[in-house]
């Protein structure tokens, strides 16, 4: 089929699931796929030396953006691996001092599942509830910390409802109690300011494909000062990444991640302001036509490009099928194979039917005002075809 005959691609509003690779990131990566193809662990010739230099330069650039030291940046395959390494690694290394871990009900499965695995092996896991706006109260965290608590894990920005948790405050509380603090920042990195340079956050995860970088690469920040965090490795087979994560380092992906993170930070203020205008425009257009629509998550303390809406009295499955020309999600991409309603929406008080009749709109760098107008029309038309919302 010729390019002219190809069907028009739908409007992409699923940037919480993944983001397209920025052409500037691709440009930075290309030489490391072809001419400079060396293994960074090969220390006997120039191919390996150049690759190692590229990896260490990327490590330093990422550290500079996060307020870390380069020795605190460890490369992984993505935030899922980083979360697992942080949670399971701390649990194993600290098992002699305690077997209690604290997290939140609305965390990503990459946090909840390793916690659940620990629970099945003798650890005690406390999952804090959230309020109807998706936030946890700092006092809740203070009241549940114990002498045997070894880790608190709270995501910086929720992947479904976009809520920004007060992680600096929560991390400070954890530090006051002598408990390590980890944050899954896959959604927050590059979108909101993150600084691990203080004495609060001990471990932090991020992923390249959430910030216009390549898939298959992520970072785990592991504090090496005041205190030095010790982790038990989960993957063996070599001395890569200081012995913490065995496996050949993917040089092009590392270079791409560093460039992607830098670009996000350089453009963050302007891009955030632009996305807030577009996001609020989309919400107003839909709300004006469908007054019963419900906004999920805190109205202001959320990611600039996130909008999560519930359409009352509408069949969720039929609504998704009716959204021709629009690429959106009904929840987390990592849980889309499951038939259960979103655990995040259930945690903020939605019924099963309400959770299934919800849509997540993820705006991004390529989103235009024209696409927002068209998206609103598509949603309004689809809701009208599959059901008539009741008045509030």
DSSP string, 74-89: EEESSHHHHHHHHHHH
Residues in the chain: 392
Structure confidence at residue 6 (pLDDT) = 43
pTM, to two decimals:
0.93
Structure confidence at residue 338 (pLDDT) = 55
Structure confidence at residue 219 (pLDDT) = 98
**Count of beta carbons in the 10 Å neighbourhood of residue 390:** 9
Structure confidence at residue 126 (pLDDT) = 98
Q: pLDDT digit of tens for each residue in the chain (392 aa)?
A: 333 444 689 999 999 999 999 999 999 999 999 999 988 878 899 988 899 999 999 999 999 999 999 999 999 999 999 999 999 999 998 888 899 999 999 999 999 999 999 999 999 999 999 999 999 999 999 999 999 999 999 999 999 999 999 999 999 999 999 999 999 999 999 999 999 988 799 999 999 999 999 999 999 999 998 889 999 888 888 778 877 888 889 999 999 999 999 999 999 999 999 999 999 999 999 999 999 999 999 999 999 999 999 999 898 889 989 999 999 998 654 544 456 789 999 999 999 999 999 999 999 999 999 999 999 999 999 999 987 544 44
Is 334 annotated in the active site? yes
Q: Domains of the chain by range and CATH?
A: 23-262 (3.40.640.10), 268-385 (3.90.1150.10)
Separation CA 301–CA 378 (nearest Å): 27
H/E run at residue 101: strand 100-104
Structure confidence at residue 390 (pLDDT) = 45
Structure confidence at residue 42 (pLDDT) = 84
Structure confidence at residue 309 (pLDDT) = 97
115, 144, 264, 334: the active-site residue? 334
Contacts of 379 (CB under 8 A, 6+ apart): 286, 323, 326, 359
């Amino acid at each position: 089929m010729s390019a002219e005959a190809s069907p028009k691609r739908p409007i992409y509003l699923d940037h919480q699931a993944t983001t397209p690779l920025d052409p500037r990131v691709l440009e930075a990566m290309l030489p490391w796929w072809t001419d400079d193809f060396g293994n960074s662990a090969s220390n006997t010739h120039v191919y390996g030396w150049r690759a190692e230099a590229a990896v260490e330069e990327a490590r330093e650039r990422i550290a500079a953006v996060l307020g870390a030291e380069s020795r605190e940046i460890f490369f992984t395959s993505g935030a899922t691996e980083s979360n697992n390494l942080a949670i399971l690694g701390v649990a194993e290394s600290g098992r002699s001092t305690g077997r209690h871990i604290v997290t939140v009900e609305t965390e990503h499965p990459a946090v909840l599942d390793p916690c659940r695995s620990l629970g099945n092996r003798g650890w005690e896991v406390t999952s804090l509830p959230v309020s109807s706006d998706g936030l946890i109260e700092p006092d809740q965290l203070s009241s549940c910390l114990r002498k045997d608590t070894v880790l608190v894990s709270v995501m910086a920005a929720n992947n479904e409802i976009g809520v920004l948790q007060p992680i600096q405050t929560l991390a400070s509380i954890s530090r006051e109690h002598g408990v390590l603090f980890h944050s899954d920042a896959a959604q927050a990195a590059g979108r909101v300011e993150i600084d691990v340079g203080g004495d609060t956050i001990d471990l932090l995860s991020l992923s390249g494909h959430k910030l216009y970088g390549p898939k298959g690469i992520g970072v785990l920040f592991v504090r090496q000062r005041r205190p030095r965090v010790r982790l038990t490795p989960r993957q063996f087979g070599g001395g890569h990444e200081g012995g913490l994560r065995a496996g050949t380092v993917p040089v092009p992906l590392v270079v791409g991640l560093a460039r992607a993170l830098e670009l996000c930070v350089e453009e963050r203020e302007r891009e955030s302001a632009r996305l807030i205008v577009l996001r609020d425009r989309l919400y107003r257009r839909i709300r004006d036509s469908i007054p019963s629509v419900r906004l999920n998550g805190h109205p202001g303390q959320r990611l600039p490009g996130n909008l999560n809406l519930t359409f009352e009295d509408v069949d969720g499955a039929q609504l998704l099928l009716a959204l021709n020309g629009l690429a959106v999600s009904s929840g987390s991409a990592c849980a889309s194979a499951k038939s259960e309603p979103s655990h995040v929406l259930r945690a903020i008080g939605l019924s099963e039917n309400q959770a299934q009749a919800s849509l997540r709109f993820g705006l991004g760098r390529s989103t235009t005002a024209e696409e927002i107008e068209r998206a609103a029309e598509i949603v309004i038309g689809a809701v009208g075809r599959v059901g008539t919302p009741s008045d509030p």
